[in-house]
């Protein structure tokens, strides 16, 4: 499925931070138990059914990837739940933007460019989520090309320079044995990005370690 075939629905977040993909959308998108699904989430209502007003400083949507369980559910990542203040009982809007069968084919050129967010550690590193590594066939030693899309500092204030020059903030890094990549020191100083910053990045390309 591609960007022109987005499927959107609304649902309530359960006690384990999961959302249920509706049966009609599962059928339309060819989603079955074991499928790998990438979804874009937008908070709508809190557990008291009051409208959620997201700060303009934060991304317009939050993207995550997970494997569909036997009940047709996918789990919102812990980092996104924390950053978007999403709790059980909240109502969210979900767009299904990418589906892979459980029998994955290695693909170094991405048909879908996965996006994720993480908190920068003391050494300038962020961690690629396990499900994205699986979906994109990323292994230790791969070199990945990453573009930075959004940055909040450690006090959750936006770093405006990224918005002004978003197309210029791209870097490559080798994936370590814990699935981490390192933002170059020059780029961290330039933007700036400090330990504790929250960054949203897009995975642009994957290279073999031999390249």
What residue ranges define each of the domains in the chain, with the CATH number in brackets? 3-100 (2.40.30), 115-207 (2.40.40)
pLDDT at position 186, please? 86
> What does the pLDDT look like over 150-192, one tens digit per residue?
888 877 777 766 555 455 688 899 999 999 999 989 888 888 8
Instruction: Give how far the C-alpha of residue 46 lies from the chain's centroid of Cα atoms, to the nearest Å.
Output: 22
Q: pTM for the full model?
A: 0.80
- Nearest CA among 15, 77, 20, 72 for reference residue 47: 15
**More confident of the two residues 95 and 186:** 95
Output the average pLDDT for the chain.
Answer: 86
> What does the pLDDT look like over 27-77, one tens digit per residue?
998 999 999 999 999 999 999 999 988 777 778 889 999 999 999 999 999
């Amino acid at each position: 499925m591609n960007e022109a075939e987005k499927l959107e629905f609304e649902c309530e977040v359960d006690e384990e931070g999961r959302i249920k993909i509706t049966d009609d959308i599962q059928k339309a998108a060819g989603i079955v138990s074991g499928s790998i699904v990438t979804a874009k989430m937008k908070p709508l209502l809190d557990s008291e059914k009051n409208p959620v007003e997201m700060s303009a400083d934060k991304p317009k949507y939050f993207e995550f990837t997970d494997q569909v369980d036997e009940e047709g559910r996918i789990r919102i990542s812990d980092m996104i739940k924390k950053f978007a203040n999403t709790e059980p009982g909240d109502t969210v809007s979900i767009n299904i933007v990418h589906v892979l069968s459980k029998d994955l084919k290695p693909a170094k050129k991405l048909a879908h460019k996965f996006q994720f967010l993480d908190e920068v550690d003391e050494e300038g590193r962020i961690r690629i989520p396990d499900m994205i590594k699986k979906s994109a066939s990323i292994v230790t030693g791969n070199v990945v090309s990453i573009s930075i899309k959004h940055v909040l500092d450690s006090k959750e204030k936006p770093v405006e320079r990224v918005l002004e020059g978003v197309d210029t903030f791209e870097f490559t890094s080798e994936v370590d044995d814990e699935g981490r990549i390192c933002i170059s020191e020059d780029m961290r100083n330039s933007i700036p990005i400090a330990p504790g910053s929250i960054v949203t990045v897009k995975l642009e390309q994957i290279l073999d370690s031999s390249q």
